[in-house]
Structure 1
Amino acid sequence: MPDSAIRSAGGTGKLVIVDPYSSGSALARRAKELYGLDSVAVLTSQTLPAALVATYPAEDFVAELRYADVLTTAQAVEALCGGRPDHLICGSEPGVEAYDLLAAHWGMRPNTGPSEARRDKFLMQGRLRDAGARYIPHHLAEDTESAVAWCARSGLAEYVVKPVKSFATDGVFFCSSLDEVRAACEKLFGRNDLAGELITEVLVQERLVGPEFVVDSVSLDGSAFVVNMFRYTKETVDGNPVYRAMSSVDVGDHPDIVAYVEHVLAALGIENGPAHSELILTEDGPVLIETGARMHGGLGPRLVEESSSHSMIDLTLASRVAPVEFERRTRVRPSLRRGVVECFLSAPAGGVVAANRVRESCRELESYLFDTCEQAPGDLIEKTTDLITSYGRVVLAHADPVALARDMDYVLDLDRRGALIEVLPGT
């Protein structure tokens, strides 16, 4: 254990955060600001992508330890904290199951039902079916031939093939033929997913048609509060869905989606804490792609801060730390103060950065808020095939939707033309 892991866990209270990566990296510092809590990090995997690991702010924690099993880990946490910790939160997707085990062990407002169904997308769709909620026709395949045979029998026009525990669009393939299904399976079976687990099963589903939304919610004792919505724009690159933009949507515009997500959360047993649900709005109504029992990843919560009347981060903390405060804040329904758009930048090929023109090209836009593109000449970037390999973001914010849409189109056009970053073939 590193020296930083054995610092004194002093303070007025102890908060344990399981896998504080991505957007979960903001929780410890905010918990200190709002509630004076010291935080302990529980890290569940040593095989996460470097880009995800780099988001962990070790300096915000008084201690850290590696997850072993629920009893060993609980004892280690209690030794650090001088007893049972005061509060517990899941920081990111890889930690969902470990978090569930610890919450149940300590009796800290645990979620109900099988924890595996909150990560395994095959089990997740089955829970929806059993609860009478709209779900996607699907099949669990343990080998390529099983996947191809199901697709051949299904009569569907298009398919989605992905690992059962996929996140950040890792390993997701859109297929329009049996040959493409076969090729996708051959790329997946035998490799590791983003959390470092060997892929031995894949989920095959119908590819749904319709606009895609993401819905963020926080629950307390079975009562869900939908905080915000975004609409995704995606493109397909070599059969993989690649994010291009995420635009804010007023929650009040889609009561049908709110009602459906509440049904989904109940079916999955997500009764406490945050959830991040992605769905397609089909002609028959919303249908879930997947739900994560954690906050929206990446910049999502920060975009909510910039646009909404409510804070995703603060409500997540309140649901676990200050339930009376949570109930007070959620008496008022959320509304948009201004629109935001996150533009996802995409590299058509990997290589060496020759020039980065993102900031100089975008900062004078009327709606420019910030960007995350710090690449310098000589840096290496990967070809964009999923969310993790997007080389950066440009975030726009404006009260005028016309100005916002105009600037979004401008940024994405520059990116498609290769005008924002110049990349030379790697050596």
Structure 2
Amino acid sequence: MLDLVDDSTRAANRPGAATGTLVVVDPYSSGSALARRAKELYGLTSIAVLTSETLPPALVASYPAEDFRAEVRFSDVLESARAIESLCGGRPEFLVCGSEPGVEAFDLLAAHWGMRPNTGSSDARRDKHLMQARLRDADVRHIPHHKARDTESAVAWCARSGVAEYVVKPVKSFATDGVYFCADLDEVRAACDRLFGRLDLAGELITEVLVQERLIGPEFVVDSVSLNGSHFVVAMFRYMKETVDGNPVYRTMSAVEVGDHPDIVAYVEQVLSALGIENGPGHSELILTSEGPVLIETGARMHGGLGARLVDESSTHSLIDLTLASRVAPEEFRRLTGTRPSLRRGVVECFLSASVAGVVTANRVRESCGGLDSHLFDTCPQTPGDRLEKTVDLITSYGRVVLAHADARTLERDVEHVLGLDRSGRLMEVLPEAG
């Protein structure tokens, strides 16, 4: 006779098993996987807390409403907490942040319920000016910077800063939204004029911008999970970007060995402590300069997009599982972090880029890339008649091709093949819009 065991029974038999309700604040992007995985691992049901009604459609589309038994629209912390408690019959057992727009609401709810909140100012975990100031005050290497409330203030700081090139971006930018690389003061002025008065990706009016020195060097992203102030670096990737109309555009993200970069690991641990990220995930982007690593920004949430899945595909450790364990099962977290992560195979995410806006006439991504030795999957659902935006940031990249292989030369060859086809317009054929 077959021994039939349902998911909840399996979960109850796991080390560190838990019961109850998990609240996920803004379960978008990689955070969309948290509710389903929490049910698989721990038998938990989940409630979604949604903080904004003006997020980009692509981000909103990643929300798996079917994985949640209820949802709450965040207003203020007391009203939202009461709404959640009415659904749970009291305080929920567990709480996690799903994506960048939810960081501040998550911090408020964690503090309200005393559920291992992060420490210090929540604003410094979203506002990039306050973030750099916090590093400065903690004597951690940081970028020279200035917060401007008007164009003239930004231009004046750049003029007296003595730096060679500049970055201008909203103080709460994410997904490279509104990030401009500027070579001179005229470009700084133009970038500010484009930013002030428009809405950012979270739907907030841009009234302040951050201007800072543009650093030169290879760029890395570092994924970490912390528990009670003890930090564990789970994974590390190296970015390759190009500049389009002054905007940084992602082209590849390649997994690298955590153990090969102890200087980056030590620096990120300093950053996390300075920013008060003591519990849960952290996602840090930095430049490795000639003087050492310097932070661009840190998010108090998991790596967005496909990042968490790519960690699972390449590493001995799971970013999603460690994120949940840090909030749900601390003893399981300690067990999982007893060994250092290492790569099982190389993984590269290729970001596809449209050089013009227009209408799709043919999607050749799968037929052109699906037969590659390292092809893992792709995310390019467009069909003829769909409209594409010109790629100027992460959100307007029209898709991804993800490659994985144990042989570095095979992987490198296939990456060049994908990017070559993309640059020549042979993956997605587009009829440019008139004018």
Q: TM-score range by the shorter chain?
A: over 0.9
Rounded Cα–Cα distance in structure 2 between residues aligned with 1:278 and 1:178: 26
Letter of the 1:332 partner, please give it.
T
Structure 1 residue aligned with 2:23, among 13, 16, 21? 16
Q: Per the alignment, in what secondary structure is the counterpart of residue 181 of structure 2?
A: strand
Moved over 4 A (4+): none
The answer to whether the aligner puts 1:392 opposite 2:392 as a matched pair is: no
Deviation at 1:330, TM superposition (A): 0.1
Deviation at 1:374, TM superposition (A): 1.0
Which residue in 1 is equivalent to 2:77?
70
Q: Per the alignment, in what secondary structure is the counterpart of residue 132 of structure 1?
A: coil
Structure 2 residue aligned with 1:39, among 17, 23, 46? 46
Which residue in 2 is equivalent to 1:265?
272
Rounded Cα–Cα distance in structure 2 between residues aligned with 1:292 and 1:90: 11
Letter of the 2:177 partner, please give it.
D
Which residue in 2 is equivalent to 1:3?
none
The answer to whether the aligner puts 1:226 opposite 2:237 as a matched pair is: no
Aligned length: 417
Structure 1 residue aligned with 2:254, among 247, 256, 272? 247
Q: Per the alignment, in what secondary structure is the counterpart of residue 334 of structure 2?
A: helix
Q: Per the alignment, in what secondary structure is the counterpart of residue 42 of structure 1?
A: strand
Match runs of 1:110-259 below 5 Å: 110-259=117-266
Rounded Cα–Cα distance in structure 2 between residues aligned with 1:290 and 1:425: 35
TM-score by length of 1: 0.97
Rounded Cα–Cα distance in structure 1 between residues aligned with 2:318 and 2:408: 22
Rounded Cα–Cα distance in structure 2 between residues aligned with 1:399 and 1:133: 37
Q: Per the alignment, in what secondary structure is the counterpart of residue 17 of structure 1?
A: strand
Deviation at 1:12, TM superposition (A): 4.2
Rounded Cα–Cα distance in structure 2 between residues aligned with 1:235 and 1:425: 22
Structure 2 residue aligned with 1:53, among 37, 55, 60? 60
Which residue in 1 is equivalent to 2:285?
278
Letter of the 1:78 partner, please give it.
E
Which residue in 1 is equivalent to 2:371?
364
Structure 2 residue aligned with 1:333, among 337, 340, 343? 340
Q: Per the alignment, in what secondary structure is the counterpart of residue 366 of structure 1?
A: coil
Which residue in 1 is equivalent to 2:350?
343
Q: Per the alignment, in what secondary structure is the counterpart of residue 180 of structure 1?
A: helix
Rounded Cα–Cα distance in structure 1 between residues aligned with 2:161 and 2:39: 53
Which residue in 1 is equivalent to 2:90?
83
Which residue in 1 is equivalent to 2:305?
298
Letter of the 1:18 partner, please give it.
V
Letter of the 2:359 partner, please give it.
V
Deviations 1:389-409 (A, max 9, x none): 000000000011111111101
Q: Per the alignment, in what secondary structure is the counterpart of residue 352 of structure 1?
A: strand
Rounded Cα–Cα distance in structure 2 between residues aligned with 1:399 and 1:235: 27
Deviation at 1:426, TM superposition (A): 3.3
Letter of the 2:73 partner, please give it.
R
Which residue in 1 is equivalent to 2:385?
378
Identity %: 80
Rounded Cα–Cα distance in structure 2 between residues aligned with 1:290 and 1:12: 35
Structure 1 residue aligned with 2:428, among 403, 421, 424? 421
Rounded Cα–Cα distance in structure 1 between residues aligned with 2:299 and 2:346: 24
Q: Per the alignment, in what secondary structure is the counterpart of residue 389 of structure 1?
A: coil
Deviation at 1:157, TM superposition (A): 1.0
- Structure 1: 5+ residue stretches without partners: 1-10
Rounded Cα–Cα distance in structure 2 between residues aligned with 1:256 and 1:324: 28
Deviations 1:203-244 (A, max 9, x none): 000000000000000000000000000000000000000000
Letter of the 1:111 partner, please give it.
N
Deviations 1:250-291 (A, max 9, x none): 000000000000000000000000000000000000000000
The answer to whether the aligner puts 1:28 opposite 2:30 as a matched pair is: no
TM-score by length of 2: 0.95
